[in-house]
Amino acid sequence: MGNLFQPAPEFVFFIFFKKYIFIQLLCILCLLRIYAHRTRFDWLAMGSFILGVIILFCHFGFNFLGIYEGILLDYGTWFVRWHNGSATLALASLPLLLTNCYQNNRWSWIDLIHGAMLGVLAMLYWTTVILI
């Protein structure tokens, strides 16, 4: 009876990963991608960074600013919880994923880390939605 109300460890790690690790690491990788292309401005990485900052604000900014009700909070909560939070993360990752198609791409290890992050996100999503 003790295990009835305890969530699976995979589910707890999925929530922790998507809320505290993925989006912050995505913003850092976007800033590194922008810094790597100093000669030309990387609009796709900047778009991914802006989406990441919007998601971070929807997660933490409303409570920090003391906004506890209103239409903006409702839309922000809906945006963050879209498909258990995975759709917004995939939407924010898409522009950074498209920067992989550039010719003469510098610092390709950023794409390797980003791909590993997307793989972990997909695996955890599959584990929590399909298996649990």
Q: What is the full per-residue pLDDT of the chain (132 aa) written as tens digits?
A: 567 678 888 888 888 998 899 999 999 999 999 998 877 888 999 999 999 999 999 999 998 999 889 899 999 999 998 887 888 999 999 999 998 887 777 888 999 999 999 999 999 888 888 776
Closest CA to 92 of 35, 23, 20: 23
User: What pLDDT is stored for residue 47 in this prediction?
Assistant: 95
* C-beta of residue 29 within 8 angstroms of C-beta of residue 44: no
> Which two tokens mark 13?
């790690």
pLDDT tens-digit map of 40-70: 888 999 999 999 999 999 999 998 999 889 8
Q: How many residues does the chain have?
A: 132
Mean per-residue pLDDT of the chain: 88
The CB-based long-range contact list for 22-26 (8 Å cut-off, 24+ gap) reads 22/89, 22/117, 22/121, 23/52, 23/55, 23/56, 23/59, 23/89, 23/92, 24/56, 25/113, 25/117, 26/52, 26/89, 26/92, 26/93, 26/96, 26/114, 26/117
| The pLDDT of residue 107 | 86
3-state secondary structure of 68: coil
* pTM greater than the 0.85 cutoff: yes
pLDDT at position 45: 92
Residue-level pLDDT at 71: 92
Answer whether 23's CB lies under 8 Å from 56's CB. yes
